[in-house]
Structure 1
Amino acid sequence: MVRLSNNVIGILNFLTFVLSIPIVVAGVWLSKQGSTECERWLEKPVIALGVFLMVVSIAGLVGACCRVSWLLWLYLLVMFVLIVLLFAFTIFAFVVTNKGAGEVVSNRGYKEYRLGDYSNWLQKRVNNSNTWNRIKSCLQSGKICNDFQSKFLNDTTVNQFYAENLSALQSGCCKPAEECGFTYVNSTTWTKPSNGTYTNSDCDAWSNDQSVLCFNCQSCKAGLLQNLKTDWKKVAVVNIVFLVFLIIVYSIGCCAFRNNRRERENWKY
């Protein structure tokens, strides 16, 4: 008679196997239909995740329901490694996103972001030119500033624009820094003073060219890191819940593995 723990592991892995199918299909779809570099970049990780879930779930399903001990042992080993990696990533995510926050600007509905406020590890990632060029390409193809311009097109005065509640990416990538002192024309067009000298390199990096704007600015990198920090915090919280779930499943799997060994020993006698 199959034990309760074996049944539970079998059901959970069957559900995981079913879940892996649309993930693989989504990865294949992205490889065929992806129109931007960002979508094509996602293709391989999505396919890899789907195949990984499929293989692990098959091992757990067969190991538990068909009482194949070595498959169940392999499944538990992978689960243990996954728990360790997930725990390490969660701690890492909290550590690297601990620093950094938007700077409140007087009489503005938005904050401004400075790259130096974030962790050194994150700064090194975005300061790598190859990495940033790929990220910049994704931001441009995502039309962040195009949407920004159309949304705030009716702001006919600078005070109306200053009252807007901008996102971190919009504040960092789609407008110049406050200290530059540029003259407002519209949400993505600003006039530089003819004889301006700046201590902030972002002021020289700004361009009214809609494909450039402030995508080469340090503030744009900071805005991205602020978004990343917010997202990683949320992911870390979800990871904690998932980690507890994995530990429970791992414990049930250990019970199923012991059941398999007991039944195998009983068959010998």
Structure 2
Amino acid sequence: MARVSNSVIGILNVITLLVSIPVLGAGIWLSTRVGGTDCEKFLERPAMALGAFLIVVSLAGLVGACCGVAWLLWIYLLVMFLLIFVVFCFTVFAFVVTNKGAGEVVSGRGYKEYRLGDYSNWLQKRVNGTKNWAKISSCLHDSKVCRSMQQGNQTIDQFIRHNLSPIQSGCCKPPTECGFAYESPTSWRSENLTASSNPDCPAWSNDPALLCYGCRSCKAGVLANLKSDWKKVAVVNIVFLVLLLLVYSVGCCAFRNSRLAKPQSSSP
């Protein structure tokens, strides 16, 4: 049993070590790449930190299990415990902050529209910050999410039947209640502008570089997309937590075996 637990920990950490090397390499590549986008620069530090962290932890577990070094296994188990705690807290947090907010069905339209006030205060603060939103809007520009809607000539009937993504609905067109006249998916005339109190109505621009990137509906669309992604991540985290608990249990067995083996190796 002792050999089995040590072997399992060793194999798992070899796999983790092999995975961590390309993660670290990707972070280094992003940091040295010339002409990288703001989104890519945003990812470089987390990728490098995650890669370095996985390398250190996997080496500690690998050496501790294969060489019977009890103090390395102790550090490995401590880090694993902290990782389990952090993943658990994040999973609960993700479910809590994404509990509110949903798109509103618009009569006669195939897409939904989104309101910033429908989402949790914590999420609203993340996108209302000037510095944060500058980075997010830069990523939206880089992704060309609105430019993809400009391809092909569509009539208004064709356009309203589309199932637009939350970001396309919130950032690439004005809200329906504004009463703009349709010209193309990203070009609207304001001659039929209704007396709406929605601040997004005067914020709309036909300039491809502006559109509704400064609108509250755009921020709401980003949060709707974020909510969907976080829900998926939270489900994945639950599976990840189960695997971490199994690895932690095997690691505890390997740690106990390494401590029991010490007095045996010193006896004649």
TM bucket, shorter chain? over 0.9
Task: Classify the secondary structure of the residue corresponding to 1:242.
Answer: helix
Q: 2:249 & 2:193 partners in 1: Cα distance?
A: 70
Task: Classify the secondary structure of the residue corresponding to 1:184.
Answer: strand
Q: 1:132 & 1:52 partners in 2: Cα distance?
A: 29
Task: Classify the secondary structure of the residue corresponding to 2:146.
Answer: helix
Q: 2:121 & 2:193 partners in 1: Cα distance?
A: 34
Which 10-residue stretch deviates more, 3-12 or 190-199? 190-199
Quick one: which of 185, 203, 207 aligns to 1:205? 203
Q: Residue 17 of structure 2 contacts residue 59 of structure 2 at CA under 8 Å; is this kept in 1?
A: yes
- The answer to whether 1:6 aligns with 2:9 is no
Q: Which residue of 2 aligns with 1:141?
A: 142
Task: Classify the secondary structure of the residue corresponding to 2:182.
Answer: strand
- 1:4 to partner: Cα distance: 1.0
- 1:166 to partner: Cα distance: 0.5
Q: Which residue of 2 aligns with 1:236?
A: 234
Q: 2:97 & 2:194 partners in 1: Cα distance?
A: 37
For residue 15 of structure 1, what is the amino acid of its counterpart? I
Equivalences, count: 266
- 1:53 to partner: Cα distance: 0.4
Task: Classify the secondary structure of the residue corresponding to 1:100.
Answer: coil
Q: 1:171 & 1:195 partners in 2: Cα distance?
A: 18
Q: 1:164 & 1:30 partners in 2: Cα distance?
A: 35
Q: Which residue of 1 aligns with 2:264?
A: 266
TM-score, normalised on structure 2? 0.96
Q: Which residue of 2 aligns with 1:92?
A: 93
Q: 2:149 & 2:46 partners in 1: Cα distance?
A: 30
Q: Which residue of 2 aligns with 1:215?
A: 213
For residue 82 of structure 1, what is the amino acid of its counterpart? L
Task: Classify the secondary structure of the residue corresponding to 2:39.
Answer: helix
For residue 37 of structure 1, what is the amino acid of its counterpart? D
Q: 2:189 & 2:8 partners in 1: Cα distance?
A: 66
- 1:195 to partner: Cα distance: 7.1
Q: Residue 14 of structure 2 contacts residue 58 of structure 2 at CA under 8 Å; is this kept in 1?
A: yes
Q: Residue 17 of structure 1 contacts residue 54 of structure 1 at CA under 8 Å; is this kept in 2?
A: yes
TM-score, normalised on structure 1? 0.96
Unaligned segments of structure 1, at least 5 residues: none
Q: Which residue of 2 aligns with 1:182?
A: 180
CA offset digits 1:60-113 (Å, max 9, x no partner): 000000000000000000000000000000000000001111000111010000
Q: 1:102 & 1:216 partners in 2: Cα distance?
A: 19
Q: 1:119 & 1:141 partners in 2: Cα distance?
A: 27
- 1:194 to partner: Cα distance: 7.5
Q: 2:164 & 2:240 partners in 1: Cα distance?
A: 32
For residue 30 of structure 1, what is the amino acid of its counterpart? L
Task: Classify the secondary structure of the residue corresponding to 2:164.
Answer: coil
Q: Residue 2 of structure 1 contacts residue 65 of structure 1 at CA under 8 Å; is this kept in 2?
A: no
- 1:32 to partner: Cα distance: 2.1
CA offset digits 1:118-156 (Å, max 9, x no partner): 111100110111100110011011111111212xx321x
For residue 88 of structure 1, what is the amino acid of its counterpart? C
Q: Which residue of 1 aligns with 2:225?
A: 227
Q: Residue 207 of structure 1 contacts residue 214 of structure 1 at CA under 8 Å; is this kept in 2?
A: yes
- 1:159 to partner: Cα distance: 1.8
Task: Classify the secondary structure of the residue corresponding to 2:244.
Answer: helix
Q: Residue 101 of structure 2 contacts residue 119 of structure 2 at CA under 8 Å; is this kept in 1?
A: yes
For residue 27 of structure 1, what is the amino acid of its counterpart? G
Q: 1:68 & 1:39 partners in 2: Cα distance?
A: 39
Task: Classify the secondary structure of the residue corresponding to 2:174.
Answer: coil
Q: Which residue of 2 aligns with 1:64?
A: 65
Q: 1:51 & 1:264 partners in 2: Cα distance?
A: 31
Q: 1:255 & 1:265 partners in 2: Cα distance?
A: 17
Q: Which residue of 1 aligns with 2:75?
A: 74
Q: Which residue of 1 aligns with 2:27?
A: 27
